[in-house]
Structures are given as C-alpha cells and as structure tokens.
Amino acid sequence: MPYDIIIRNAMIIDGTNTPAYAGDVGILNDKIAAIGELSEAHANTEIDAQGNVLAPGFIDVHTHDDTNVIRQPECLPKISQGITTTIVGNCGISASPATLTMPPPDPMNLLGQQADFQYPTFASYAEAVTAAEPAVNVAALVGHTTLRNNVMDDLFTGATDEQVAQMRHTLREALEQGALGLSSGLAYASANASPEEEVQQLALELSEFGGIYTTHMRTEFEGILGAMDEAFRVGQKAKVPVIISHLKCAGAGNWGRTHDVLKKMDNAAAHQDIACDCYPYSASSSTLDLKQVTDDIDIFITWSETLPEYAGKMLKQIALDMDLPLMDAAKALQPAGAVYHCMDEADVERVLKYKLTMIGSDGLPNDPHPHPRLWGAFPRVLGYYSRERNIFSLETAIHKMTGLSANRFRLAGRGEIKAGNFADLVLFDKNEITDVADYDRPIAAAKGIVAVIVNGNIAYTEKQGVISRAGRFLARRSQ
Ligand SMILES: [Zn+2]
C-alpha cells in the first residue's frame, strides 16, 4: 500500500502513557494509516527518524491565542514547540461570541484591541479561523466574562435574571455551533462580582451538548480550597466535567499547600469528572492586578500603556525610580502587564506530577515581553522536568500533553498515535529538546523539535521553520 509519508525508525511514544517502542508510521491523506514495520512500503516522502521520539502532536489546553491564530496564522510560538492543537477562550475571556462597543475590559485586553474582536457569533469566529488557515488546529471555549461584557454595562456587579437569560441564550447558540464549553475567570475584577449562582445558571446549558466547564478560580491564594469547592459544585449541579485552570498555590503565605489542594482534587475525583492544567514555571503572568501587588515577591512589568518607558523593569525598582510606594507606582502604570514570581518550585513539581494534570502554556501572545511559557512550556516539561529533574518518564510527560488532554477536552481522533487517527505528530530529539526562552529573553524557539506534522502535512521543521498551514477549526464532536 502506498503512503504519502512514511516515518521510519522512530521511537514511538503513543500518548497513552505506555512504554515507547520502535517502529515506522505510514500516513495517507490526513490520517495515520499504519504503524509497525513498513520496510516493504513506499511513500512520496520518507523521513528517517534516526531513533528520535515520534509523539502525537501536543495539545495546548490552555491558551489565549483567540485572535492570534487569525492575525498571525503561522502560529510560530506554538508549532515550534510541537503543538498541533491550541484550545482558546480560557480564563473567562474569548474572542467570540463578542460584541464590543468600547475597548476590551481587563483582562479581555490580553486578546487584542477592540478592532480584533470581530466575531459576534461563535460560527463567525470558526469561519474566520478556517479562512485564516492557521498552522495548528484550533478549538474554542466561550468565556463567561465575554458573555457578561456583551450584556452588562457594569461588570463590577452580578448579572440580573434577564442578563443571565441573555447569556444563556448566547452560550447555547455557541454550543450548537461547536464550542467546547464554558470558561470562567472569577479571580478577575470583571467577573469577581458574579455570584456562584450566575455561573451555575450558565453551566446548566453545557451537559446537553457534552460541554465542559473550565475555571480560573475565584482565588489561588489563601482561600483556594473554598474556590475549588465552588468550582466542583458548579460541575456537580450541572453534571459536567470541571477543569481547574493553571492549578497553583499563589502567594508566599500559601506555599506548600499543594498537598491539601491535591488531596482535595483526589476527593472530588472520586465522585465527579475533574482534571486540571498547569504550566511548568514558578512565576505567573497576566495583567497587573493591584490585589497581587506585594513586596513579598518579585513582580516584573512587561508592558504599561500609560508609562511604557517602565516596561521591562521590576516593580520595586520602578517604585524607587518614581519615589512612590509600591502600590502607587502600580496604579500609575495601569493598564499594564506583569510577571509575578509567586510560586514555590516544589508546589509546581507536585502539581505537574499529579495524575490529572495536563500541560497548558497559558502563553500571552500579545505581550511585548511575554512570560517564557509562550515559547517554552512544552519543551520545558520534556527537557527540564522529565530529562533533567526526572519528575516523570517521557511517556508520562507526553501523555499529559496529548492523550489525557484529547480525552478531557473531548477532541475526537487526536492525542494518540493509532491507526485511523488524524496525523498530528511531532518528531523530537529527547536528548536535545530544551526550552530556550527565559525571563530575560522570552522570544525564542525551542531546540530539538525536528519536525511537526499537522493533518498529514509537514508543517514545521527546525531547519526550515513553518512549511505549511494545515490546521483546522475543531468543532465539538464533528471533527
Ligand atoms: Zn487564567
């Protein structure tokens, strides 16, 4: 049988968390057609893997690439890490369904400017993604804050019954058009006044469609256990899976508490469908949040709209330069972006290792000095955490970015190397793979990603960069 592509002599790690094995993979059209010993077969393109690891393309379950997959369809920060699918619309903020009459409120401004929000319906967003021909596949959640912003003039309050009804209607329409589910960002001021009941009402729309609920919880600081309870209640009452976004214990007073947090995950997982995602760094990043301003930790300012000359400096230094208290300096910088060195490394490792943890970058593609996770999250898990720190095997690391992720986000036909699945694949050198991006120089492609294949097309090689843009919009269930 002839194939379009054969990859020979690969060390196959198939995404199921089972041991690696040597073999060849044959690709025909957009699918994996055969796996095994294919020395008798031929193909137009034959790749000698030379014993490198062949894995399912990585799935970045936590991103804010909503408008970037359209505006920068080469998706270089993604594809250069081996990511073949990006899930957008996390943390309550999504580019659709959105109707903006004013500039986007914090933190919707992480996704772009007002002019970038051009998608009043989920279907119009899906069409725009398809038309843009991004290098990676795109699936999308609907953001609670985006829904609120469509119908509320004042985000610092709870929605009225009528507004809730309008949001439910819009969410339902988006689910009919292929949205994966609902995300919330309750920690942010633009959603924090929303009572649990408001989110609960929206979540009730999900189960009929097989939708999921993901949440950037109300707090990741001292009150984290209560915030987890809230998230689990919403999922339980709505009978839908819950995914805790970027699970962490933030704030110096909170370090070491991942023991309690993971015990709570275990307890909840015994009777409901839950999971979480995590990025492999001990610093977080978002817009500059006055609630998080403290001199207990280092806070790096990545951008400032009002005082751009201070971007790229530590807040402590800026406060000294301005001769102002820390909080007053922070207020003067807003709106602004920040990297908060707010976590304990042992907590990060504990969460990464946890059995229900998937890898998500949470990369911020519009930040001029982004947190290095944007370009480095996946290689860092493989190189630093698996190879160097040895916190888990390569098979487990890959499972957390492929099979587990496709299963939890219900992406059919992806996340595992298996005959009949879509040919989303990454070939990498396990001894070489390294995240090059760091806090000082965060814009840098990873080392060791040999080739990336998306829907049966060679999409990227380390030598040639982006070769093709074969990503698709992945509507729920109709992939
Ligand atoms: Zn978030």
Going from the Cα of 61 to the center of ligand 1, the distance in angstroms, rounded, reads 12
Going from the Cα of 19 to the center of ligand 1, the distance in angstroms, rounded, reads 33
Q: Is the pLDDT of residue 479 over 50?
A: no
Going from the Cα of 91 to the center of ligand 1, the distance in angstroms, rounded, reads 4
Going from the Cα of 20 to the center of ligand 1, the distance in angstroms, rounded, reads 34
Contacts for 233-239 with beta carbons within 8 Å, 24 or more apart?
233/196, 233/200, 234/196, 234/199, 234/200, 234/203, 235/203, 235/272, 235/273, 235/274, 236/272, 237/200, 237/203, 237/204, 238/200, 238/203, 238/204, 238/206, 238/207, 238/213, 239/207
Q: Is residue 101 part of a domain?
A: yes
Average pLDDT over residues 85-96: 98
Q: Locate the DSSP E strands across 157-208.
A: 181-185
Going from the Cα of 4 to the center of ligand 1, the distance in angstroms, rounded, reads 40
d(CA 439, CA 370): 8
Specify whether 147 is located in the same domain as 217.
yes
Instruction: Report pLDDT digits (tens) over 376-392.
Output: 999 999 999 999 999 99
d(CA 317, CA 309): 13
CB of 95 within 8 A of CB of 88? yes
Going from the Cα of 183 to the center of ligand 1, the distance in angstroms, rounded, reads 10
Q: Is the pLDDT of residue 201 over 50?
A: yes
Instruction: Report pLDDT digits (tens) over 408-445.
Output: 999 999 999 999 999 999 999 999 999 999 999 999 99
Average pLDDT over residues 400-405: 98
Going from the Cα of 93 to the center of ligand 1, the distance in angstroms, rounded, reads 9
Specify whether 323 is located in the same domain as 295.
yes
Compute how many other C-beta atoms are within 10 angstroms of the C-beta atom of residue 465: 12
Hey, is 452 helix, strand or coil?
strand
Q: Is the pLDDT of residue 478 over 70?
A: no
Going from the Cα of 364 to the center of ligand 1, the distance in angstroms, rounded, reads 10
Specify whether 257 is located in the same domain as 109.
yes
Going from the Cα of 11 to the center of ligand 1, the distance in angstroms, rounded, reads 35
pLDDT band at 477 (very low <50, low <70, confident <90, very high): confident
Going from the Cα of 457 to the center of ligand 1, the distance in angstroms, rounded, reads 32
Going from the Cα of 245 to the center of ligand 1, the distance in angstroms, rounded, reads 6
Of 453, 446, 452, the residue nearest 432 (C-alpha): 446
Specify whether 158 is located in the same domain as 261.
yes
Of 73, 159, 66, the residue nearest 108 (C-alpha): 66
d(CA 96, CA 120): 6
Q: Is residue 441 part of a domain?
A: no
Residue 309 belongs to domain with CATH number: 3.30.1490.130
Specify whether 113 is located in the same domain as 155.
yes
Average pLDDT, the chain: 97
Specify whether 223 is located in the same domain as 360.
yes
Going from the Cα of 249 to the center of ligand 1, the distance in angstroms, rounded, reads 13
pLDDT band at 207 (very low <50, low <70, confident <90, very high): very high
Instruction: Report pLDDT digits (tens) over 146-186.
Output: 999 999 999 999 999 999 999 999 999 999 999 999 999 99
Give Cα 212 distance to the centre of its chain: 15
Q: In what order do the strands lie in the sheet with 181-185?
A: 142-143, 181-185, 212-216, 242-244, 274-278, 357-359
The residue segments making up the domain with residue 263 are: 57-283+342-412
Instruction: Report pLDDT digits (tens) over 235-258.
Output: 999 999 999 999 999 998 999 999
Specify whether 112 is located in the same domain as 159.
yes
Going from the Cα of 205 to the center of ligand 1, the distance in angstroms, rounded, reads 22
Residue-level pLDDT at 110: 97
Q: Residue 352: which residues within 8 A CB-CB, separation 6 or more?
A: 278, 280, 359, 381, 385, 391, 392, 400
Q: Residue 342: which residues within 8 A CB-CB, separation 6 or more?
A: 248, 250, 251, 252, 282, 283, 284, 292, 297
Report the share of the chain in percent with pLDDT over 90.
99
Q: Is residue 447 part of a domain?
A: no
Going from the Cα of 443 to the center of ligand 1, the distance in angstroms, rounded, reads 21
Going from the Cα of 431 to the center of ligand 1, the distance in angstroms, rounded, reads 32
Residue 115 belongs to domain with CATH number: 3.20.20.140
Question: Could you give the number of structural domains in the chain?
Answer: 2
Going from the Cα of 92 to the center of ligand 1, the distance in angstroms, rounded, reads 8
Going from the Cα of 449 to the center of ligand 1, the distance in angstroms, rounded, reads 27
- Cα first-last separation, the chain: 26
Instruction: Report pLDDT digits (tens) over 281-301.
Output: 999 999 999 999 999 999 999
Instruction: Report pLDDT digits (tens) over 302-355.
Output: 999 999 999 999 999 999 999 999 999 999 999 999 999 999 999 999 999 999
Going from the Cα of 339 to the center of ligand 1, the distance in angstroms, rounded, reads 13
Q: Is residue 65 part of a domain?
A: yes
Specify whether 193 is located in the same domain as 323.
no
> Distances in Å between the alpha carbon of 280 and those of 91, 165, 223, 344, 368?
18, 38, 23, 12, 21
Going from the Cα of 38 to the center of ligand 1, the distance in angstroms, rounded, reads 45
Going from the Cα of 465 to the center of ligand 1, the distance in angstroms, rounded, reads 30
Instruction: Report pLDDT digits (tens) over 32-43.
Output: 999 999 999 999
Q: Is residue 373 part of a domain?
A: yes
